[in-house]
Amino acid sequence: MLRKKVAVPAEWDKILPFCVFAYNTTVHESTGESPFYLLHGFDPYIPWNTIPNQEPSKYVVDLESYTQEVTAATNIAREYAREESNKMRRKMKIAYDRNKRACTRLPKVGDRVYMKVSREKQLSQNPKLVNPWEGPYRVLETSENSALITWIEGGRDPVRVPFDTLVKLPAGVSNEPLRTATTRRKRGRPQKETHLADGSEKVTCFRTLITMDHPLNLRRRCDCGLFDQMAHVALPTLKHPMARSKRVADMFQLANVASISEQECWGDERKEEELRMKNSQFMSPYGLALAMEAHRRRCHIYAEAIDAAQGMKFDHPALFAWPVKYDVGGHITTALAMLKHIKLPGTSAAVGQPVFLALPQGFARVHMEVDYDDAVTIYVYENWEFLAQKLLEVNIFTAIVVVWPDSMPSGRSMRQLLIALERHLQPGGTLLFFPSPYEDHNQQEWSAMGRVCAEFVRFMTTPDRGFEAVVRDHYSEVLDTAPYTHPAICLGTDPRFKKTPFIGRQIVLYLEKMRMTMSDILRLEEFKPASDQLKEKRREEQAAKRRRRRDEFKPNFFVIADPERRRQDLQFSFRRPSDSQCEEGGTSQEGASSSKMRRASFPPSRVHPYGAARGGPSGGRHNRGKEGTKYPRGNHRQA
């Protein structure tokens, strides 16, 4: 208790009376009562007690009876405490016998652990008040009696410590660092700190490091006979001839060749230039997934490693002596998730992968003009608030593509969209941002939204948020220059008149360029113009949807119960009472029949307790006869 409450260890004597008072006035689980009550026979008077006076009044009982009551209550409480203490001793014995044995659940690779620093207590003036645990650390390797661990936040060299000084962290404990005054480091001269280049920051939180001898290491040369040969041996259907004839020595080179060959938005000249480069660094998650699929079909060791790695997240050592622009561990994690959505030969598109595509109001005619795959869900949003609400209502998607609107979204809507995106992609997935088509009259706002998009992605992918999805920003990368294949400029500089929707040909062209741009990480079927039959079918579906929405706003009708069916037996008439009086001057019997006809032509708004209707067309107190019969004005009752 002192260790938790004291801020300065040297001032422990100042906080000691408060800890003793809290200990004595708190009910203990082992006895069921507080030590103060067992000693004195009454509960203590604590400062936060709302009852000001708990002492018995001398006018209620005498002192002798009060003493007897306190003695009896104290004996009962002590007997109860003795029983509870015996129960607690038995529980402690069972727990001790269960835990006092050899530890069989040792930390594994990838687990988070705390390390005990024994020197922390030795060098402190108050060793009992010192916390000797430091962490969290990540386990990199394990042996029979020790483990190689590294500081999760980075900046320290890995150290090997015995299992006796490690304790495994539960899943609910956060990665908030717990530091000690002393730490355990390697002996020797400390290494100089190296800073990575911008855009290549390594994040190892919640990831498993792939060692050099691990089957998933991209620089490991397998003995299955797949490597040191031309690339077409592993991938027979590669499109580019130079890619087919290039020799590959390891998994990275095979993934590099597959990524270059299957990059749809590159031309042949760009592909040849990249293939001739001596140390090409290009690698896409889709090309790596193709290489993994080809390798696991020919090597059972690699296939077992792929099956064991499903659902895990990895970190990979550096591939080159210089930093690269992408996260190698993130590419491996994404490629493992894409394996179930691809099939060889290499250029097959994704099969059944659900994709959510959000488009602004300018693409309102996309459902009528474009033929797209059933696995793609296209939603045309009015603003980001409606988009966030839609994402909260639909099922979980692992791939989301968002096209930014024509005008700057509000800060509130951006926060709502961030919450909705985290619902889908917090554990992992793919998130892509694309700009709306560029327009000359909207240049300043279009550029401002690109800078906001970069800041939005940077905030979303900070390590503190733990957002594990792969996020691509295809907006800010084209603020200065853009290739002709990018969807932002594929429609020209003035594609439409003011804010009118885009036509079908423009929508198909934009979606096709977008599909080719994201083909390295997400494979979709081609977008084609809709046929006449498809347009008619979707037109009927929209009409049926409008009818359903219109029916929802129709008023509800209430049916008046008429068990005797009197209204069906009477004749209906739409003649006004004034017309009947002018044309007919007949007897009272004719007047009565005409009154019935007029009464039947108007549904009663209120029923009299004696059976006569009130409030009808000829209602009134002076026209009401015996037994509630109504007569028209100007007629006389029969004698």
Q: How confident is the model at residue 49 (pLDDT cuts 50, 70, 90)?
A: low
Between 233 and 162, the higher pLDDT residue: 162
Calpha distance 382→379 (Å, rounded): 10
pLDDT at 611 over 60: no
DSSP annotation string for 87-137: HHHHHHHHHHHHHSS-------TT-EEEEE-THHHHT-SSGGG---EEEEE
Question: What pLDDT sits at residue 387?
Answer: 93
DSSP annotation string for 570-609: SPP----HHHHHHH----HHHHHHHHHHHHHTS--SEE-T
- For residue 487, which amino acid is it? P
Question: What pLDDT sits at residue 83?
Answer: 86
For residues 445-459, give the mean pLDDT: 89
CA distances from 344 to 29, 72, 291, 297 (A): 64, 85, 10, 10
398 Rama sector, left if φ>0, alpha if ψ -120 to 50, beta otherwise: alpha
Q: How confident is the model at residue 224 (pLDDT cuts 50, 70, 90)?
A: confident
Between 63 and 228, the higher pLDDT residue: 228
Between 596 and 69, the higher pLDDT residue: 69
Between 47 and 116, the higher pLDDT residue: 116
User: Residue 91 forms beta bridges with which residues?
Assistant: none
Question: What pLDDT sits at residue 511?
Answer: 93
Q: How confident is the model at residue 400 (pLDDT cuts 50, 70, 90)?
A: very high
For residues 360-374, give the mean pLDDT: 90
H-only helix segments in 339-430:
366-369, 384-393, 411-425
For residues 9-33, give the mean pLDDT: 83
Question: What pLDDT sits at residue 245?
Answer: 84
For residues 208-225, give the mean pLDDT: 84
Q: How confident is the model at residue 633 (pLDDT cuts 50, 70, 90)?
A: very low
- Mean pLDDT across the chain: 77
Calpha distance 76→70 (Å, rounded): 10
CA distances from 451 to 139, 198, 282, 376, 435 (A): 39, 17, 26, 28, 11
The model's pTM is: 0.45
Question: What pLDDT sits at residue 274?
Answer: 87
For residues 235-259, give the mean pLDDT: 85
Structure confidence by residue, pLDDT tens digits, 470-480: 888 888 888 88
pLDDT at 53 over 70: no
Structure confidence by residue, pLDDT tens digits, 100-146: 665 557 888 888 899 988 877 777 777 777 788 888 898 888 888 89
Structure confidence by residue, pLDDT tens digits, 70-93: 778 788 888 888 888 888 888 888
Between 237 and 489, the higher pLDDT residue: 489
Question: What pLDDT sits at residue 360?
Answer: 93
Question: What pLDDT sits at residue 61?
Answer: 57
Cβ-Cβ contacts under 8 Å for 450 (sequence gap 6 or more): 435, 475, 476, 478, 479
Question: What pLDDT sits at residue 210?
Answer: 84
Structure confidence by residue, pLDDT tens digits, 143-182: 888 999 988 877 778 889 998 889 888 876 777 888 877 7
pLDDT at 545 over 60: yes
């060098």: which residue's tokens?
Answer: 123
Question: What pLDDT sits at residue 344?
Answer: 52
- For residue 488, which amino acid is it? A
Question: What pLDDT sits at residue 346?
Answer: 38
Structure confidence by residue, pLDDT tens digits, 492-536: 888 888 788 899 899 999 999 998 888 877 878 889 998 888 888
User: Quick one: tokens of 49?
Assistant: 């007690």
pLDDT at 35 over 60: yes
Question: What pLDDT sits at residue 322?
Answer: 74
Q: How confident is the model at residue 628 (pLDDT cuts 50, 70, 90)?
A: very low
- Record: fold of 103-183: SH3 type barrels. (2.30.30)
For residues 380-393, give the mean pLDDT: 92
Q: What is the DSSP letter of 562?
A: -
Calpha distance 173→151 (Å, rounded): 16
What percentage of residues in the chain have a pLDDT greater than 70?
77
For residues 213-217, give the mean pLDDT: 86
Q: How confident is the model at residue 577 (pLDDT cuts 50, 70, 90)?
A: low
Question: What pLDDT sits at residue 606?
Answer: 45
For residues 5-31, give the mean pLDDT: 81
pLDDT at 230 over 90: no
Question: What pLDDT sits at residue 187?
Answer: 56
Question: What pLDDT sits at residue 90?
Answer: 87
Question: What pLDDT sits at residue 384?
Answer: 92
